[in-house]
Amino acid sequence: MLTRTLPSPEVEPTVTENTESPEFIEQQVDERGFYLYEWISPDELRMSVLADYLAIIRAASTPLAVVTLIAGFIRLSAGVPGVILAVLGVLGIFYTLVLAVLIAKMLRKSYLYTRGGNVVITDGHYISAGTVVERSDFAGQKKAFGGLEKTFREPLLEPSGLAEHIAMERASLIEQMKSIASGWGKLVQNLGRSRDAAGIVMVLMIAGLLYGGMMALVYFLGVFFVSVMARVFSWLAHRALLALNNTEHEIQTLFQGITRASIALKSGQKQSISLLTDAGRGEWTDNLSARLRDSFEVISEMAGEATDQTVELRDILESSRYKDIFNFVKYGKWIQGQVLSPIEEILLLLTKNRDTITRTIASLDTQIILMTDPSHQKPLILQKDRFEMQIESITPMIEMLEGYKAKLKN
C-alpha cells in the first residue's frame, strides 16, 4: 500500500503519497512493538478488478472477431437480418460469459482481500491470512504471501504495480483493436474487387460494424460499469475485512488514541509550567486562576483518556492471539514514554509547587502575626489568600494524577 492509484475510464491512474513507508512502519514497530499495515487497500481491490476486465477483453478480442465472422457466414443465407441477429447473439453470449468470469474473479479476490488485505507486524513476526511468519523466515514469507503479491501485483511493503499494469493493459487493448480493424479493412478491400464475393463483403462489413461498435462500448462504457461494480464489491469486502479483523483494528486505534492523548498531555504540561511559574511570582493578572483551572481540566481529561486506553489496550493484547509473540517489554517502555512519564513529570511539578506554596503560606502567617499595623497586614493576607486558592486548585489534581499513576503501574 505504499502507493495508491485512483483509476477512471479515460484517465491514467495517478499515484498518491502515503505515510506508510517502510521507514515509518519500522519506526512504529520499534517504538511500540505492533503495527497494522494496510497492505491491499479497497481502491487497489477495485483496481485489480478493472485490470482483470481489461485483460479478459484483450485476450478474447481476436477469438471474438473470428467467431463473429463465422456466425455471420453461417447465417448468410438468411440475409442481412440473419447476419445481424447471429452476430448480436454471439456478442451477447460472449459478454455474458465475460461478466460471469469477472464476477468469479471478484469473489475470489474479495475472499483473499478479507483474509490478507491487512498485515499485523510485530517486532519479530508478520501475521496475515491466518498465518504467522517470523520476519527472519524469508522462505516462509514467500510461501505465505506470494499468492497475494502475485494476485494484487504488490510485494509486501513495496509499491503497488497496479497503476502501471492497468496502463499497459489499456495500451495493449487499443493496439490490438487497431490491428484487428486494419486487418478487417484490408480483407474487405481485397474481397471487394471480386464480384463473386459480394455476400462475403456484406457479412464482413455488417459483422465489422457490429463488432467495432460493441468493442467501443466495452471499452468506454464497459470500463465505467465495471468500475462501479468493482467499487461495490470492494466496499462490501472492506466491511467484511473490518469485521473479521476487528481486534487488530481496535488495537491499532487504541495505539493511535494513546499517541494523540500523549501529545495533548505533553502540551498541557508545558502550558501548566508557564502558568505555575507566573503564579509563583504572584502574577495573577489576566484571570490566571481560571487559566490554570482550564489547563488542569485538559491535563485531567487527557491523562484519564490515555490511562483508560492503556489499560484497555493491555487487556486486549493479553487476551488476543498475539499474547505469545507480542513484546510486552517494548510496550511497557513505550507506555512509559507516552503516558506514565508525562504524568509523573506533571505530578512532580505540582507536588513541588504545592510544597513551595505551603512553605510560603507558613512564612506569610508568621509575618502577619509579627505585623502590628493592620494596613501592613492587609497585602500579606491578600497574598496568602491567592496562594491558598492555588493550593485548592493543585491538590485535587495531584490526587487524580496519583490515581492514574497507580492504575498504570498495576
Q: Which residues contact 245 (CB under 8 A, 6 or more apart)?
A: 36, 118
Please provide residue 10's backbone torsions phi and psi, each rounded to the nearest 5 degrees.
Answer: -120, -5
Q: Per residue in 221-253, pLDDT tens?
A: 778 888 888 899 889 988 888 888 788 889 989
- Output DSSP code: residue 77: G
Question: Cβ of 130: how many Cβ atoms within 10 Å?
Answer: 9
Same domain, 181 and 294: no
Same domain, 321 and 380: yes
Q: Per residue in 146-192, pLDDT tens?
A: 888 888 888 888 888 888 888 888 787 777 667 666 665 655 555 55
Please give the pLDDT value at position 189.
Answer: 57
Whether the Cβ atoms of residue 278 and residue 382 lie closer than 8 Å to each other = no
Whether pLDDT at 9 is above 50: no
- Output DSSP code: residue 13: -
Same domain, 234 and 292: no
Question: What is the Cα–Cα distance from 271 to 256, expressed in whole angstroms?
Answer: 23
76/344: higher pLDDT: 344
**Mean per-residue pLDDT of the chain:** 78
Same domain, 176 and 53: yes
Same domain, 124 and 213: yes
- The pLDDT confidence band at residue 313, using thresholds 50, 70 and 90, is very high
CATH of the domain at 324: 1.20.58
Q: How many domains does the chain have?
A: 2
Please provide residue 122's backbone torsions phi and psi, each rounded to the nearest 5 degrees.
Answer: -110, 180
Q: Per residue in 364-405, pLDDT tens?
A: 888 888 877 777 778 888 888 877 877 887 888 888 889 988
Same domain, 379 and 358: yes
Same domain, 315 and 189: no
Question: What is the Cα–Cα distance from 136 to 125, expressed in whole angstroms?
Answer: 8
Domain boundary among 225, 244, 263: 244
Question: Rg (Cα) of the chain, in Å, rounded?
Answer: 36
Same domain, 233 and 335: no
23/376: higher pLDDT: 23
**Burial status of residue 144 (CB atoms within 10 A of its CB: 0-12, 13-18, 19 or more):** buried
Same domain, 240 and 251: no
Please give the pLDDT value at position 17.
Answer: 39
- The pLDDT confidence band at residue 308, using thresholds 50, 70 and 90, is very high
Same domain, 236 and 341: no
Span 91-115, mean pLDDT? 86
Closest CA to 226 of 99, 57, 58: 99
Please give the pLDDT value at position 203.
Answer: 58
Whether pLDDT at 145 is above 80: yes
Question: What is the Cα–Cα distance from 394 to 205, expressed in whole angstroms?
Answer: 91
**pTM to 2 decimals?**
0.69
Phi-psi region of 153 (alpha: psi -120 to 50; beta: other; left: phi over 0): left
Domain of 344, in residue numbers: 247-409
